[in-house]
A and B are shown apart, each in its own frame.
Chain A
Amino acid sequence: MLDLIEPALFAILTIGIVSAGVGVVLANRITTSALLMAFTFLNIAGMFVLLGAETVAMFQVLIYVGAITVLILYGVMFTPQSARPYGLFFQTQKYWAALFVVPIAIFVAFVGSVGFHDSATVGAKGGDLMPLATSVFRDFAFPFEVASVLLLAAMVGAIVLVKRDED
């Protein structure tokens, strides 16, 4: 019976990710989309836990649900909206979208069914804190620092761009 729990959790999380992802695209109001996106992030964090990567799952929730979704909601609330609900996505683009989506879906299904049978990539149980820490702060310390300096420069640039001249 206990062997069934992991596939069952996987199924629940997959349904959550896919249905919330569809909801993000289909929802009429942009706040609903933002909240459904938060739900998708939560389910992806659950996937990381299933894979034995608790630290990544925690950071996923901390950064994406706790910070980024709230910032998106902030942006949405301060942006003027039209009074009626709008559905731009399914007026002109759906045939073009189908043209691109179907081949990619077939490709993903093919790769998923053929590849990823290597059990060594799946069975990484037993905590990911130490591997994560050593890879970020020892093996890839220099790229990590370069990326953080780049992000800092981008952030300072963004602040300079949006700052008004009044004071």
Chain B
Amino acid sequence: MPVGPFGIDPAIWAPLRLVIAVLLVVGLVFNGALAQIYLERKIQAVIQDRLGPLHTGPWGLLQTFADAIKLLGKEDIRARLTDKWFFLAAPSIVFSPMLASYVVIPFAPGIVGADLNVGLLYLTTLGSMTVLGIVIAGWASNNKYSLIGGLRSAGQLISYEVPQIVSLVTVVLVVGTLSMVGIAESQPGWQLNFLVLPLAFVTYFIAGLAETNRAPFDLPEAESELVAGFLTEYSGMRWAIFFLAEYGEVTVVSSIVTTLWFGAWHGPFVEVFPLLGVLWFTLKTYFFVLVFMWIRATLPRLRIDQLMSLCWKVLIPLTLTNLVVTATLLLVFPNTVLPVAIANWILLAAFVLVLPYVQRRRLVALRERLRTAA
């Protein structure tokens, strides 16, 4: 009889490994969402000079658990004129691609679901499938606010996919592989991709905010205009599944950022204790989750035309320029990434310094036009 890991027959180990991995990821997503909702409340409270949840448990730690139990116990309500099957299926269509994303995320050396050689492409593919679920949710609810929310979401996600994928391609050009493990291994020590490609990081992060429907891009569920967008008709656990999916997506985008630009599991003492990689990976990922929350508490929501013009007039030309410059420099200097790094930092400086100037010029021109029209 062949003996696999832990002295278990490989024919039994393969399905057992699958079950353990799925249970771990489901646990990770559920507990991650609970922790992130607590963090979100506390951080927004700190930024807005409030106290946040305080009374349930020590420091209000049990507040999200109480909320989760309340959601589980709620009655499952469905309005009569909704489209039954699509209405019931939409939360799962949003949730399952997010869950499947965890297959390729490299938590530590050797701790990864599957080292696909198209790992990054797999992640973008799953990210694009979320649109379908949101459009279905908006349409099946038979509610005009839901429908507008769903269509806004589709327009937003399809537009922001372009700068997102082009930013990822820039990294792939430098690293030379699409495998998440390969990308993680390519940046040991201080050779982080962030130092080489900061502009790609910034554009990907902005597009990632839009991809996860987070503020300032949370137009599909803009509560001041659309009640709750595509979530309007949902309640109880179905509503909660949409939120689990959103927090899971935030974690996935943060993990992609960690892996591509910040060296994934690399950190002190990982060579000695490989399991320590999980700690470094989690800390780096949650740092970016906190940045997501910080941005949400700081920036106001964009208008839909501002959202589209930011994507098509700023981000897409910028990422395409970045891609062409990076590819050319890599062809001219095949042995060093130093020219790429210099070009990227210059482009980033141009982006950060020139954009506010252009916006101010446009605002002045707009005011001038309004004054002459009045």
Binding stretch for chain A, among B17-25, B119-127, B238-246, B317-325: B119-127
Residues of B in contact (CB 8 Å), total: 22
CA of A78 to CA of B34, assembled, Å: 38
What 1/0 flags go to B271-282 for Cβ under 8 Å of A? 000000000000
B158: chain A residues at CB < 8 Å are 66-67, 70-71
Cross-interface CB contact of B135 among A2, A58, A70, A127, cutoff 8 Å: A70
- In the complex where A2-B11, A70-B158 touch, is A77 in contact with B128 (Cβ < 8 A)? no
Nearest neighbor of B121 in chain A, beta-carbon distance: A58
- In the complex where A35-B86, A74-B151 touch, is A61 in contact with B125 (Cβ < 8 A)? yes
B147: chain A residues at CB < 8 Å are 77
CA of A158 to CA of B154, assembled, Å: 21
CB distance from B18 to the nearest CB of A (A): 12
**B128 touching A66 by the CB < 8 A rule?**
yes
**B129 touching A61 by the CB < 8 A rule?**
yes
CA of A71 to CA of B136, assembled, Å: 12
> Is B293 located at the chain interface by the 8 A CB criterion?
no
Nearest neighbor of A69 in chain B, beta-carbon distance: B132
CB distance from B187 to the nearest CB of A (A): 21
CA of A55 to CA of B158, assembled, Å: 20
Residues of A in contact (CB 8 Å), total: 22
**A58 touching B139 by the CB < 8 A rule?**
no
**B135 touching A54 by the CB < 8 A rule?**
no
Nearest neighbor of B123 in chain A, beta-carbon distance: A58
Nearest neighbor of A77 in chain B, beta-carbon distance: B139
CB distance from A121 to the nearest CB of B (A): 22
Q: Residue among A2, A61, A65, A66 with the most chain B CB within 10 A? A: A66
**A129 touching B118 by the CB < 8 A rule?**
yes
| Extra pairs beyond A66-B132, A74-B154 (15, CB < 8 Å) | A35-B136, A54-B116, A55-B118, A55-B121, A58-B118, A58-B121, A61-B128, A62-B121, A62-B125, A65-B128, A66-B128, A69-B132, A77-B151, A127-B118, A129-B178
Binding site for B on A (CB under 8 A): 1-2, 31, 35, 38, 54-55, 58-59, 61-62, 65-67, 69-71, 73-74, 77, 127, 129
Binding site for A on B (CB under 8 A): 11, 86, 116-118, 121-122, 124-125, 128-129, 131-132, 135-136, 139, 147, 151, 154, 158, 161, 178
